[in-house]
A and B are shown apart, each in its own frame.
Chain A
């Protein structure tokens, strides 16, 4: 019996653009153990974001199997996947994607609206998540009142608040300067080492990948190499 949190078996993905069928992933197989921190690297068009979307349940594979924490997510309907994402996955995007009309704590609270939690409990948890990312004092600020790094911290708090099994990060430092990027990556590393969060991160930045335990290289939809980070 496998102990991997994420099991990807012979996954393929193609899109149809007009009359053209575009093959994006060709029979990818990966195991990601619980508590791992994996960086997915590769040039543009290599299929890394597509693979991340499949792992996060945002899209369905054309073929193969994806099992996360024992559940076959490739067989789930749209509604089941929504529910599954709410319970199991936290997402961090390159451009933070916070809702500008809500304060930091209200943004963090969003995933908890899908639970039966009371308002007071939701706010309490949102503030705990903000405290973990070091932004408790900015809870009442709106995104436009925060710096890029702070916005990304809020996005990470939002991803954490429902205590997901898996954190899925798509170029989380792509829009940040080096220093801020290092702070964010250190935070992700801490979430992995201290809180045991399993993290899959897409990046094209080798320095960012150094923060991961393991780096997977993709090119033209094929897995090239699987290397453990030096540090």
Chain B
């Protein structure tokens, strides 16, 4: 029996108590895994999105659309290679299931977003079909949409000129992502802006954002400043930022996700700290004569301290890893069930490293005080029950 087996046996001295403590740790780390994965996703933005593109939006809010006539002016700014534009369509299918839908210029989208991969014929069909729509692979697979399908999409913003909120598009292409990260992002539908602009009761000739492709990514700040300067003191002042920053800002509208997650986790871990700390303290209190016997047999103060600390560590590692494993499984399930929301959320190496760090800190916090107490026990007093 090595020391580890001894620690293991000691851990299960009171099975019910150990199980309940481990269950509470599992719950804590399940929450940690889920929330931290969300926080990493929200706060990091899409890390794979580089700085090769800038996003131009209204200085007030991206919900405040900009006129399309700004496009040639943006294009004329030195350092700008190409510009595309998107208008949020607000698509809904079925009862009330949202589908991320944007009205765009097909040719410009193809140039600005080489990460969307589709055959030439499909790109041509998208450009040439006024009612054409292309669908991301993830959402196509999820909904069973394929090329040739009629796609009835309700807009919760834009009615057609006849008053109907339901628009009918023709699926002319399914696009994939350039790599695994982009593939997970193929969750949107693009419709032809020309058709949208002509048929919509309002909102024609507007764009929510312009995506600007740079000639030189190192000049991103300079170009962004030049674009914003171009429209300064005009009715359409702009805010230009990198695509990554734009994504962060988009999620920040929901709230400061990082702060919210941190506050929840602080509350959870404070509870766990007191609960597990109390369990460990109680476990050591009950075993004072046993610990004194170990010291009598020749176990040094340090060795006894390490044994008790090892018990706290084992407890936290079991609960922590089980909770994180469960969180990973749940995140995988969520990603499958609702890829448009959770497709890119995952408990990656960063989240796991944070979790392991949390386990170690927790083990130290709950284990060190009773471990030090155990190490300092005076054998004679402990055996005499003093």
Interface residues in chain A, defined as those with a beta carbon under 8 Å from any beta carbon in chain B: 53, 56, 58-59, 78-79, 82-87, 91, 93, 97, 99-102, 106, 109-111, 113-114, 119, 122, 158
Pair B299/A109 contact, Cβ less than 8 Å = no
Residues of B near A93 (CB, < 8 A) are 293, 383
Pair A111/B10 contact, Cβ less than 8 Å = no
Chain B interface mostly:
helix
Pair B3/A85 contact, Cβ less than 8 Å = no
Pair B380/A85 contact, Cβ less than 8 Å = no
Residues of A near B297 (CB, < 8 A) are 85-86, 91, 110-111, 114, 158
Pair B1/A82 contact, Cβ less than 8 Å = no
Residues of A near B341 (CB, < 8 A) are none
**B201 within 8 Å of A (CB atoms):** no
Pair B380/A111 contact, Cβ less than 8 Å = no
**B122 within 8 Å of A (CB atoms):** no
Pair A101/B1 contact, Cβ less than 8 Å = no
The listed residue (B9, B12, B298) touching A82 by CB distance below 8 A is B298
Please, how many angstroms separate the alpha-carbon atoms of A43 and B294 in the complex?
A: 29
Residues of A near B13 (CB, < 8 A) are 100-101
- Could you jot down 22 A-B contacts, CB within 8 Å? A53-B380, A58-B379, A58-B380, A78-B301, A82-B301, A83-B298, A83-B300, A85-B297, A86-B297, A86-B298, A91-B296, A97-B289, A97-B290, A99-B9, A100-B290, A101-B12, A102-B1, A106-B1, A106-B9, A113-B6, A114-B298, A114-B299
Residues of B near A110 (CB, < 8 A) are 6, 294, 297
Residues of B near A111 (CB, < 8 A) are 297-298
Q: Which residue in chain B gives the minimum CB-CB distance to A82?
A: B300
Pair B1/A122 contact, Cβ less than 8 Å = yes
The listed residue (B10, B293, B303) touching A101 by CB distance below 8 A is B10
Residues of B near A158 (CB, < 8 A) are 297
Given A58-B296, A99-B290, A113-B6, 17 new contacts (CB under 8 A): A59-B379, A79-B300, A82-B295, A85-B298, A86-B299, A87-B298, A91-B296, A97-B290, A97-B293, A99-B9, A100-B13, A101-B12, A101-B13, A106-B9, A109-B1, A111-B298, A113-B3
Residue among B6, B290, B293, B297 facing the most chain A CB atoms (10 A cut-off): B297
Please, how many angstroms separate the alpha-carbon atoms of A106 and B296 in the complex?
A: 17
The listed residue (A53, A56, A58, A79) touching B301 by CB distance below 8 A is A79
**B2 within 8 Å of A (CB atoms):** yes
User: B252-295 interface mask toward A, CB cutoff 8 Å, 1 = contact, 0 = none?
Assistant: 00000000000000000000000000000000000001100111
Q: Which residue in chain A gives the minimum CB-CB distance to B10?
A: A101
Q: Which residue in chain A gives the minimum CB-CB distance to B290?
A: A99
Give the shortest distance, in Å, between B187 (CB) and chain A (any CB): 53
Please, how many angstroms separate the alpha-carbon atoms of A78 and B301 in the complex?
A: 8
Q: Which residue in chain A gives the minimum CB-CB distance to B287?
A: A99
Residues of A near B294 (CB, < 8 A) are 110
Give the shortest distance, in Å, between B343 (CB) and chain A (any CB): 47
Please, how many angstroms separate the alpha-carbon atoms of A87 and B298 in the complex?
A: 8
Residues of A near B303 (CB, < 8 A) are 114
Give the shortest distance, in Å, between A218 (CB) and chain B (any CB): 17
Q: Which residue in chain A gives the minimum CB-CB distance to B8?
A: A101
Q: Which residue in chain A gives the minimum CB-CB distance to B304?
A: A82
Q: Which residue in chain A gives the minimum CB-CB distance to B302?
A: A79
**Top 4 closest A-B pairs, CB basis?**
A86-B298, A101-B9, A97-B293, A82-B300
Please, how many angstroms separate the alpha-carbon atoms of A99 and B291 in the complex?
A: 9
Please, how many angstroms separate the alpha-carbon atoms of A79 and B289 in the complex?
A: 19
Pair A82/B293 contact, Cβ less than 8 Å = no
Residues of A near B6 (CB, < 8 A) are 102, 106, 110, 113
Give the shortest distance, in Å, between B376 (CB) and chain A (any CB): 10
Please, how many angstroms separate the alpha-carbon atoms of A99 and B379 in the complex?
A: 16
Pair B293/A119 contact, Cβ less than 8 Å = no
Residues of B near A58 (CB, < 8 A) are 296, 379-380, 383
Give the shortest distance, in Å, between A140 (CB) and chain B (any CB): 13
Please, how many angstroms separate the alpha-carbon atoms of A83 and B6 in the complex?
A: 20
Residues of B near A97 (CB, < 8 A) are 289-290, 293, 383
Residues of B near A119 (CB, < 8 A) are 1-2
Give the shortest distance, in Å, between B378 (CB) and chain A (any CB): 8
Q: Which residue in chain A gives the minimum CB-CB distance to B301?
A: A78
Pair A113/B1 contact, Cβ less than 8 Å = yes
The listed residue (B3, B293, B296, B301) touching A99 by CB distance below 8 A is B293
The listed residue (B2, B10, B290, B296) touching A85 by CB distance below 8 A is B296
Give the shortest distance, in Å, between B229 (CB) and chain A (any CB): 73
Please, how many angstroms separate the alpha-carbon atoms of A131 and B383 in the complex?
A: 28
Residues of B near A79 (CB, < 8 A) are 300-301
Q: Which residue in chain B gives the minimum CB-CB distance to A15?
A: B380
Residues of B near A113 (CB, < 8 A) are 1-3, 6
Residues of A near B295 (CB, < 8 A) are 82
Give the shortest distance, in Å, between B286 (CB) and chain A (any CB): 10
Give the shortest distance, in Å, between B100 (CB) and chain A (any CB): 57
Please, how many angstroms separate the alpha-carbon atoms of A122 and B5 in the complex?
A: 14
Residues of A near B383 (CB, < 8 A) are 58, 93, 97
Residues of B near A87 (CB, < 8 A) are 298
Residues of A near B1 (CB, < 8 A) are 102, 106, 109, 113, 119, 122
